């Protein structure tokens, strides 16, 4: 089983760009999304992130659109709750409700789009070596790497077992559905242990003693990409500040 964002990252036209380059661009965009005034700053950041993803990075619009649904549900609920005022006369709108809600939604949508640009162009396994360069201990990065590799195997198990349960009427009532979900979680957990044990035995047989060393793929940094990113971010900052 696969995850749409992960699939997009592996297929993206930016897949072979250096992860550090993409991380710098997206971190810059997230910084702009947070620091610039919502109008027009956040709008410009969101448009830039979406244009880069759908344009040069060739991320499917459907994947990008579907991925933002969840965060949008949170942003809408959170922003609405933040601008409703509870007073003596019951519920009402805060004095500057529209402006505050607009600003909250703007920052969050722009930030989410910027992170999603990174997520849909860079597989997690490319980002983990960057964590190592940021001085995260090797043991922690390795645990994260095993987590990333195993979660797809477990998602596959989850979907297969669930299908089998559904075919045997395992979800035909709330009571049965609970029992099936408990058994499903237990089956996935025991399978994860089994997988880990088998992997361990296989690696021990190959002489693993200290860590899971793999040959990292060489993805060279591009000066042109970095220069264009810096110029684009500078333009965003000036436009966002001047037009506010």
Partner 1 sequence: MHIAEGFLPPAHAIGWTVVAAPFVVHGARAVVKEVREHPESTLLLGAAGAFTFVLSAIKLPSVTGSSSHPTGTGVGAVLFRPPVMALLGTVVLLFQALLLAHGGLTTLGANAVAFAVVGPWAGYGAYRLARAAGAGLLPAVFVAVALADLATYVTTSVQLALAFPDASTGLVGALGKFLGVFAVTQVPLAIGEGLLGVLLFRVLTANARPELERLGVLQPTVAPGGAA
User: Cα separations (Å) of 73 from 69, 79, 80, 169?
Assistant: 6, 10, 11, 32
Among 115, 165, 170, 236, binds partner 1 (CB under 8 A): 115
| Binding segment toward partner 1, per CB under 8 A, in 52-60, 134-142, 222-230, 231-239 | 134-142
Question: Are 210 and 142 within 8 A, CB to CB?
Answer: no
Q: SS3 string of 185-224?
A: HHHHHHHHHHHHHHHHHHHHHCCCCCCCCCCCCCCCCCHH
Question: Are 122 and 19 within 8 A, CB to CB?
Answer: yes
- Comparing CB distances to partner 1, the nearer of 18 and 46 is 46
Contacts (CB under 8 A) with partner 1, residues 9-28: none
| Binding segment toward partner 1, per CB under 8 A, in 50-58, 139-147, 215-223, 234-242 | 139-147
- Comparing CB distances to partner 1, the nearer of 205 and 224 is 205
- Comparing CB distances to partner 1, the nearer of 112 and 229 is 112
Phi-psi region of 169 (alpha: psi -120 to 50; beta: other; left: phi over 0): left
- Comparing CB distances to partner 1, the nearer of 206 and 223 is 206
Contacts (CB under 8 A) with partner 1, residues 197-236: 197, 199-200, 203-204, 208-212
Among 51, 178, 230, 234, binds partner 1 (CB under 8 A): 178
Among 34, 130, 226, 237, binds partner 1 (CB under 8 A): 34
Count of chain residues binding partner 1 (CB under 8 A):
86
Q: How far is the CB of 49 from partner 1 (least distance, A)?
A: 11
The reply on whether position 57 binds partner 1 by CB under 8 A is no
Tell me how many degrees the CA angle 101-106-111 measures, rounded to the nearest 5. 130
Phi-psi region of 91 (alpha: psi -120 to 50; beta: other; left: phi over 0): beta
Angle at which helix 69-83 crosses helix 97-119, to 10 degrees, equals 160
The reply on whether position 186 binds partner 1 by CB under 8 A is yes
- Comparing CB distances to partner 1, the nearer of 173 and 221 is 173
Torsion of CA 41, 48, 82, 5, to 10 degrees: -160
């Amino acid at each position: 089983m696969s995850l749409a964002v992960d699939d997009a990252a592996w297929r993206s036209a930016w897949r072979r760009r250096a992860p550090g380059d993409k991380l710098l661009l997206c971190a810059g965009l997230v910084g702009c999304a947070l620091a610039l005034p919502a109008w027009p700053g956040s709008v410009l950041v969101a448009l830039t992130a979406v244009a880069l993803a759908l344009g040069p990075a060739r991320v499917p619009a459907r994947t990008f659109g579907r991925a933002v649904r969840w965060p949008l549900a949170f942003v809408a609920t959170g922003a609405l709750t933040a601008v409703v005022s509870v007073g003596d006369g019951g519920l009402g709108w805060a004095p500057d409700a529209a402006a505050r809600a607009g600003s909250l939604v703007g920052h969050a949508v722009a930030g989410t789009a910027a992170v999603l640009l990174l997520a849909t162009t860079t597989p997690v396994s490319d980002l983990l070596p960057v964590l190592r360069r940021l001085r995260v201990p090797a043991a922690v990065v390795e645990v994260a790497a095993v987590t990333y590799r195993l979660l797809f195997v477990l998602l596959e198990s989850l979907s297969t077992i669930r299908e089998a349960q559904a075919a045997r009427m395992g979800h035909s009532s709330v009571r049965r559905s609970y029992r099936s979900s408990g058994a499903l979680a237990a089956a996935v957990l025991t399978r994860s242990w089994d997988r880990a044990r088998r992997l361990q035995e296989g690696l021990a047989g190959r002489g693993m003693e200290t860590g899971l060393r793999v040959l990292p793929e060489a993805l060279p940094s591009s000066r042109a990409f970095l220069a264009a990113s810096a110029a684009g971010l500078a333009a965003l900052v000036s436009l966002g500040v001047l037009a506010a």
